[in-house]
Structure 1
């Protein structure tokens, strides 16, 4: 069974908005590139945002704005299969397919396939998957920024989620990777 990992950049005050100033530098981009997954699961908003930034242009040449150290990440993301959860999109491309039917059942089927793992990003979809108990690992890259506004990490979770800390890694930028697993039998 493939584990499902929720991986996201977050500010010290819990903001997960991509415009909160948490863009990875070369060291962090290397970390994100190394976080291998056989496939990613996105909601519509994250899918469209990632496609707009990281899809290989039809010319096959990455845009001039992209730094050389961003290309390995872009290449990896461009190639990986994508599963898109959306009630508004009628079709997707970019090596993607729409997830249909019951979300929990669909994600369980994806997890049951062999492989290294699945990755989910975004805001609303991870909240729904956390509520269903389907996330096996949480990877938060905490940036030394206080955004003061914006969508917050798992905001609206209906019940407390107990986590076990399994890894901590610091970067030169001051960002810190915090990796957790859900505690199966949390104390009351």
Structure 2
């Protein structure tokens, strides 16, 4: 059984994006950027909701070819392109590169993917992740909490039908007061 991790940048008040999809508050230090890059390199399959896919796909496919791209950005862009991706959406028609589109039942597809052989999977995008959380499919949560309050926006966690017990497995502080907390689901 493959492991599924839900991990994203999150504001201290629990949002993955501020109103209007604003992500500008989640600025990474070099050390945090490297942590995200290493995480992408270790991912067997990345699962994306439409909005996060569109944000990532608008930037990373060609970042390594842009003038002024840093070595870390070049490395991340290459790693991001290499990881197989599954995009869940009923509103976009095609994806390209190392990605495939799923328009049907996300929970059924994630369940099927977890049962396959392969490396760990990451789910990103609060709406898609919420479906996986409600279905009990998430094995680990990685919250990268930034010291900012955005007031409202897209919550990291949505309402649940049941309690989910977790065990803290790692904490790490990054420059700028950013805190990583990783939790495993108790089964």
TM-score of the alignment, normalized to the shorter chain, above 0.5 = yes
Which segments of 5 or more consecutive residues in structure 1 lack a partner in the other structure?
none
Indicate the SS of the match to 1:124.
helix
Match of 2:141 in 1: 138
Aligned residues: 181
Q: Does 1:114 align with 2:117?
A: yes
Is the 8 Å Cα contact of residues 13 and 147 (structure 1) preserved in structure 2? Answer: yes
Q: State how far apart, in whole Å, the 2-side matches of 1:147 and 1:92 are.
A: 31
User: Which piece of structure 1 moves more, 46-55 or 140-149?
Assistant: 140-149
- Pick aligned residue for 1:37 from 26, 37, 43: 43
Is the 8 Å Cα contact of residues 144 and 181 (structure 2) preserved in structure 1? Answer: yes
Indicate the SS of the match to 1:158.
coil
Match of 2:15 in 1: 15
Which segments of 5 or more consecutive residues in structure 2 lack a partner in the other structure?
none
Displacement after TM superposition at 1:100 (Å): 4.3
Indicate the SS of the match to 2:168.
strand
Q: State how far apart, in whole Å, the 2-side matches of 1:66 and 1:160 are.
A: 44
User: Which piece of structure 1 moves more, 148-157 or 42-51?
Assistant: 148-157
Q: Deviations along 1:120-165, whole A, 9 cap, x unmatched?
A: 1111000011001111110011111122222121123333322111
Indicate the SS of the match to 2:65.
coil
Q: State how far apart, in whole Å, the 2-side matches of 1:105 and 1:22 are.
A: 32
Indicate the SS of the match to 2:161.
coil
Q: Deviations along 1:87-117, whole A, 9 cap, x unmatched?
A: 1122211211112433222112211222220
- Pick aligned residue for 1:159 from 157, 162, 183: 162
TM-score by structure 1 length? 0.89
Match of 1:176 in 2: 179
TM-score by structure 2 length? 0.89
Q: State how far apart, in whole Å, the 1-side matches of 2:69 and 2:55 are.
A: 16
Higher helix share goes to which structure?
Answer: 2
Is the 8 Å Cα contact of residues 45 and 119 (structure 2) preserved in structure 1? Answer: no
